[in-house]
Amino acid sequence: QLLLEVKDLEVVYNQGTSSEIKAVDRVSFNVYEGETFGLVGESGSGKSTIGRAIVHLLQPTKGEIFYRGESHLKRLSDKERKTFNKEVQMIFQDPYSSLNPRMKVQDIIGEGIDIHGLAPNKKMRNERVNELLDKVGLNQDHASRYPHEFSGGQRQRIGIARALAVEPRLIVADEPISALDVSIQAQVINLLEKLQVEQQLTYLFIAHDLSMVRYFSDRIAMLHNGQIVEMANSDDLYDTP
Ligand code: ADP
Ligand code: ADP
């Protein structure tokens, strides 16, 4: 089942100026429900730009993106936009910069539950937060603490719990482990794999390092200078010498 279709996507920054740059150049790929699709390329190859276009953080210059058959060009009603914002979540490289330092963990994770009305009252909301903390390998004592009290790996777990809280279908993970110690990277990958099975998630996994992604992904697109230069099943990539 097709979940996401990126079609002839083109993103030009600073168009019409001397610093014009084509960050994404006629990129097309499909992501199917339940799979992990890896987007790999060196720094500056356009990965984040594609990720941001998919979650509507930027407007493409050309091309189209379809989520569950609906074009991103369609004018969404407030209700449709809210549904999109719930179903498609992004996880970032440095969760610290995206976690509000003045909010307790329970409110960071609980915010989406409140916005989308996923718990009938405060008590059940906080119970749900505790479940989520447990799911990502943190504990209830962490709920009343603040982001700066956690390690990088723990903060990524908080970011993952925040994304999961709204019961998403598609997670766009932009270099979610690149900023972590190597020993912690595998733990976070194992967590993401476990959650994918439990929550029936689809992942678009963005990374500059092929080795981790090809272990984790079903299919991979390699990006170079804004263009896809290769697309393959990750098993086939294993076979190449
Ligand atoms: P990656 O995620 O693969 O590192 P990016 O999508 O961040 O690549 O960047 C692709 C290209 O677009 C790079 O040359 C980068 O410098 C440029 N770029 C990214 N964001 C902007 C921006 N907001 N304004 C201008 N240029 C940008
Ligand atoms: P990433 O590779 O994850 O995109 P970067 O460090 O390249 O991370 O970019 C971080 C931020 O800086 C992004 O918001 C991106 O849009 C912006 N950015 C990147 N390159 C440029 C550029 N050449 N001009 C303006 N902004 C840029």
DSSP string, 168-190: -SEEEEESTTTTS-HHHHHHHHH
- Site to probe by mutation for ligand 2, drawn from 48, 91, 177 as the one with most ligand atoms within 8 Å of Cβ, is 48
- Complex ipTM more than 0.90, yes or no: no
Q: Summarize the chain as % helix, strand, coil (round to 5).
A: 40, 25, 30
> What pLDDT does 96 receive?
63
> What pLDDT does 239 receive?
58
- For the segment 143-167, what is each residue's pLDDT rounded down to a tens digit? 999 999 999 999 999 999 999 999 9
* Minimal-distance CA residue to ligand 2 atom 26: 13
For 129, the 3-state DSSP assignment is helix
pLDDT beneath 70: ranges in the chain: 95-96, 238-241
Q: Are 95 and 169 in contact (CB under 8 A)?
A: no
> What pLDDT does 95 receive?
65
| Ligand 2 geometric centre to CA of 12 (Å) | 13
Q: Which value, in Å, is the radius of gyration of the alpha carbons in the chain?
A: 18
* Minimal-distance CA residue to ligand 2 atom 13: 48
Q: What is the pTM of this model?
A: 0.91
Q: What are phi and psi of 26, to 5 degrees?
A: 45, 55
The rounded distance, in Å, linking the Cα atoms of 202 and 34 is 4
Cα torsion 132, 133, 139, 145: sign: negative
> What pLDDT does 238 receive?
61
